[in-house]
């Protein structure tokens, strides 16, 4: 049940990110100065945390989507859905731990110095 909710929530969050991304990219055609200001705000530590959340949402959505495909198309998928869910969660945690430095490294250097 909760994986179903999390899959839907992450899908909606990814959709809104893509919507905002298209809008801010289109801003360069309207006002390059405004675009530069928006891009400058993206280099703040708070936005780095939001990027980490985006990575978390995309990664969970993708891994859980593969699990849903396996449940739907594998004849034994329904029988092993709980084990596959815990595998997805475990893999997601490992990959998110691996993404800490690449995604949040700049923010940490910005806050605490090199």
CB 46 within 8 Å of CB 108: no
Apex 33 CA angle, 29 and 36, nearest 5: 95
Sign of CA dihedral 33, 39, 41, 43: negative
* CA–CA distance, 76 with 80 (Å, rounded to integer): 7
Q: Is 61 annotated as a binding residue?
A: yes
List binding-site positions: 61
List binding-site positions for heme: 61
């Amino acid at each position: 049940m909760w994986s179903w909710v999390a899959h839907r929530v992450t899908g909606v969050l990814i959709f809104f990110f893509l919507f905002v991304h298209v809008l801010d990219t289109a801003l360069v055609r309207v006002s390059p100065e405004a675009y530069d200001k928006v891009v400058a705000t993206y280099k703040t530590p708070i936005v780095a945390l939001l990027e980490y959340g985006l990575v978390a949402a995309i990664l969970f959505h993708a891994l859980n989507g593969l699990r849903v495909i396996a449940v739907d198309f594998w004849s034994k998928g329904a029988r092993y859905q709980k084990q596959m869910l815990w595998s997805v969660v475990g893999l997601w945690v490992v990959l998110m731990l691996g993404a800490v430095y690449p995604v949040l490294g700049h923010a940490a250097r910005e806050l605490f110095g090199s």
